Amino acid sequence: MRILICEDSVLLREGLVRLLEHSGHEVVGAFADTVGVAEAVEQDRPDLCILDVRMPPTFTDEGIRLALELRARHPQLPVLVLSQYVEERYASELISGQGGAFGYLLKDRVADVAEFVEAVDRIASGATVLDPEVVAQLLTRRGKDTKMERLTARERTVLAVLAEGRSNQAIAAQLFVSEASVEKHITAIFQKLELDQDESGNRRVLAAIAHLQSTGGPGGTTHTQQTGFTS
């Protein structure tokens, strides 16, 4: 996989380069700021971009603005955003914005190399991966959703497994049903939760957040690890 990195911390930037190259990926660019990144994406056509939220010169939202720009200009380009702290507003912008697969992880997750590399691979394959801390923050912004009461018991079961980041195939295997049955249940879930069709697959993220809220938020072992939602 060809990866472009935009991270102002030289230690983290070089660490990411070595980590990804050691994992068999090719780093086609490693930038200390956002200058020239958009042009490099046009020229080098990476398979994934990894961007820091806060970049020079103001260290406010340069990185996230670049991420949104890239997602709008290159809808099929997977983007992984790294942040030192939970930036709930920026996560919401990514979820609601145009574009394809993306991830939003806290930088601490990089320390777990195996999990981080797995997250990179999943995003490149079309998944949406949210840090569990980001999910928890998003939950605090949502009021009680009475739409959840519309779901049948079986639909709630399917949604609970979906909230673990499972693909339709994995949900079918876990519940011992056909993929066609899973697709039928998920379609009903989207309709009852009034989640409109989009091109990014973010309905799965929003449906999972609705489930997490209705059950009291992230808990147990499932959401103490990275939480991914496969498009």
pLDDT in tens, 26-36: 999 999 999 99
Q: What is the CATH architecture of 148-213? A: Orthogonal Bundle (1.10)
Q: Where are the domains of the chain?
A: 2-139, 148-213
Pairing mode, if any, of strands 26-31 and 227-230? unpaired
What secondary structure does DSSP assign to 40-65, as a single string? Answer: HHHHH--SEEEEESS-TTTTSSHHHH
223 within 8 A of 130, measured Cβ to Cβ: no
Tens-digit pLDDT profile for residues 85-120: 877 777 777 776 666 788 889 999 899 999 899 989
Class of domain 2-139: alpha beta
pLDDT for residue 231 is more than 60: no
Whole-prediction pTM: 0.68
51 within 8 A of 67, measured Cβ to Cβ: yes
For residue 204, the one-letter residue type is: R
Tens-digit pLDDT profile for residues 62-88: 998 899 899 889 989 999 999 988 777
**Which tokens is 69 given?**
């720009």
**Mean pLDDT, residues 166-170:** 85
pLDDT value of position 210:
67
Peptide bond into 218 cis (omega under 30): no
**Which tokens is 201 given?**
């697959």
Half-sphere exposure of residue 81, counting CA atoms within 13 Å on the CB side?
Answer: 32
